[in-house]
Structure 1
Amino acid sequence: MTGTTGEIALLTNPTSGKGRGAKARDAALARFAEAGITPRSLAGRDADEALDLARQCVADGVETLVIVGGDGMVHLGVQALAGTTTALGIVPAGTGNDVARYFDLPRKDPRAAVERILAGRTRTVDLARSGAKYFTTVLCAGFDAVVNERANTMTWPKGQMRYNIATLAELRTFEPLPYTLDLDGTPLSLEAMMVSVGNGPSFGGGLRITEGAILDDGMLDVVIIKPMTKPALVRTYPKLFKGTHTTHPAYEHHRVRSVTVAAPGIVSYADGERFGALPLTVECAPRALTVLH
């Protein structure tokens, strides 16, 4: 007997993780079949069609939408699921898989990920919202966003190494930016390398920039990295994977319900996807998403 009894839909990005998405979908469908469940299996030809399919599932009263893919595909699904009673299941098949990390889901075994969905255990978590758009992980609005922009234009290498190479490439020319922030009504103007707004603690395959962010505390974590030399930034970068950068003198941390971030010429990224040009106001959307874990 499983904990999941209502209708399940599987939405796949078949090209996720060098084609891992299609393989993960097939493994997931096989495990569901063994449990006597036949989910709807859906795949959009592009992001817009995939989002339409996700919204249709919600409109049809599907109990669980299982996303097969990476953080970008989860990001897409969340736009349809935010504030609804349809739960999110995840079969990780991307390169970063940070949302899967948050819930300690199996990231290399699709069948084991389906077991967690079948168990039916849920957790209701916050999302971050800017206008009608949501994100689950971290909004990058500085050096990290510029790195994301470069990494997205690169076809090689795949995975975390692409971010590392993009980071080194951008370091050569990047200069601190003038920021204007509003933190729960308190204004702040300063120069910084980056400002990150975290709903959860990590992005980009385990870069724990907003270390300590909690998914269900009704708050956002705003991390400011103040100007530092390029050699210091290179030395500090590996600490992001352990979250030990928080002791660096250039690190500043605020917990807020709402933040406005403004800086010239920056397009922000969230969940690894292009999110919007600054300025942006981001607020916590408490308990907006139910996740099977």
Structure 2
Amino acid sequence: MAPRLGIVVNPTAGRNAGRRTGRDVLDLLRSAGADVHDLSAADAAGALARARAAVADRSVDALVVVGGDGMVHLGASVCAGTDVPLGIVAAGTGNDIARELGLPVRDPAAAVERVLAGRTRAVDAVRSVGGPGEPRWFVGVLAAGFDAVVNERANRWRWPTGATRYTLAVLRELPVFRPIPYVLTLDGVRHVTDAMLVAVGNGPAYGGGMRVTPDASFDDGLLDVLVLHRLPVPEFLRVFPSVFRGEHVHHPAVEVLRAREVRLEARGIVAYADGERFAPLPLDLRVVPGALHVLA
């Protein structure tokens, strides 16, 4: 029996190459005999609603997303906590989650082969506990410090676009940024600190190769909580580039803690997860072992 696949495409992924990649993936899947339902919509909210409806009424056997980490985030929001697996065609700019899971990156044909093979891998996912509406999930890294503040600033601007906007946001934020007072509660143990950056990693990397929690694992049932404590801005700038090699963890101002449940509290901070705007703090997070089945 032909597999029934729902597919959601981000047309702007990979510097606007997503639409073409999506068409290629649709052609490959249909040529292989799959029964494919295109669930894409005019915006992410519409695609999320359509995908949730398809999974809820069991009209698809698996959901396939085409794009970057933001599309994996959307797919996890739909499939985590269910037995419907998620297929990932990594076609974005960063693709950190797919890369760290060992999936093909910017190779639609190879990614489609993985989807059609039907073999799954159970990975952990992180659920935001409490709050109204549907539960919120993420798979990779949640940012709740300087990086999140820069994202908020950049997302208020309509111009410039692309990486230039974030570079400019960093330059604008640095002169006014001050260490953030946090209260962190990890498996019931309370920590109070001023920090430049706090990241909660279910996986190792975010932001296009920044290995912020380099020892985090998708299947160990634990969250790696990285805290970069108070630093002078010049020292912060000196340390930050080493995140691409994961060497920042050796700096004396960096602390990495592990927990199953994490509560983050800080005033005026909006967290970003898998590169997407997630929720304002305070946040209560819980890792759910094996909550997401990935076609891997």
TM tier relative to shorter chain: over 0.9
The equivalent residue for 2:248 is 245
Q: Which amino acid aligns with 1:10?
A: I
Write out per-residue CA displacement over residues 219-269 of structure 1, whole angstroms, 9 at most, x where no aligned residue: 111100011122222222221111111101111011001111111111111
Distance in structure 1 (CA, Å) of the matches to 2:154 and 2:243: 18
Residue 111 (structure 1) aligned with residue 109 (structure 2): yes
The equivalent residue for 2:132 is none
The equivalent residue for 2:162 is 158
| 1:292, distance to aligned residue in structure 2 (A) | 1.0
Residue 65 (structure 1) aligned with residue 68 (structure 2): no
Q: After TM superposition, list the pairs within 5 Å mapping 1:147-186 onto structure 2.
A: 147-154=150-157, 155-156=159-160, 158-159=162-163, 162-186=165-189
| 1:119, distance to aligned residue in structure 2 (A) | 2.5
| 1:163, distance to aligned residue in structure 2 (A) | 4.1
Residue 39 (structure 1) aligned with residue 36 (structure 2): yes
Q: Which amino acid aligns with 2:170?
A: T
Q: Which amino acid aligns with 2:257?
A: H
| 1:164, distance to aligned residue in structure 2 (A) | 4.3
Contact 1:70 1:95 in 2 (8 A): yes
Contact 1:24 1:110 in 2 (8 A): yes
Write out per-residue CA displacement over residues 37-68 of structure 1, whole angstroms, 9 at most, x where no aligned residue: 24112211222211111112212322210001
Q: In structure 1, list runs of 5 or more residues that go unmatched.
A: none
* Identity among equivalent pairs (%): 51
TM-score by length of 1: 0.93
The equivalent residue for 2:48 is 51
Q: After TM superposition, list the pairs within 5 Å mapping 1:5-20 onto structure 2.
A: 6-20=3-17
Contact 1:29 1:38 in 2 (8 A): no
Q: Which amino acid aligns with 1:124?
A: A
Contact 1:14 1:43 in 2 (8 A): no
The equivalent residue for 2:128 is 130
Q: Which amino acid aligns with 2:239?
A: T
Distance in structure 2 (CA, Å) of the matches to 1:165 and 1:245: 23
How many residues matched?
289
Distance in structure 2 (CA, Å) of the matches to 1:288 and 1:68: 21
Q: In structure 2, list runs of 5 or more residues that go unmatched.
A: 130-134
Write out per-residue CA displacement over residues 120-172 of structure 1, whole angstroms, 9 at most, x where no aligned residue: 2311011111132111111111111112223334544525x654443333222
Distance in structure 2 (CA, Å) of the matches to 1:233 and 1:120: 45
| 1:108, distance to aligned residue in structure 2 (A) | 1.8
Cα RMSD after superposing both structures: 1.8
1:175 and 1:222, CA in 2 relative to 1: closer, same or farther beyond 3 A? same
Contact 2:141 2:201 in 1 (8 A): yes
The equivalent residue for 1:230 is 233
1:158 and 1:281, CA in 2 relative to 1: closer, same or farther beyond 3 A? same
Residue 279 (structure 1) aligned with residue 277 (structure 2): no
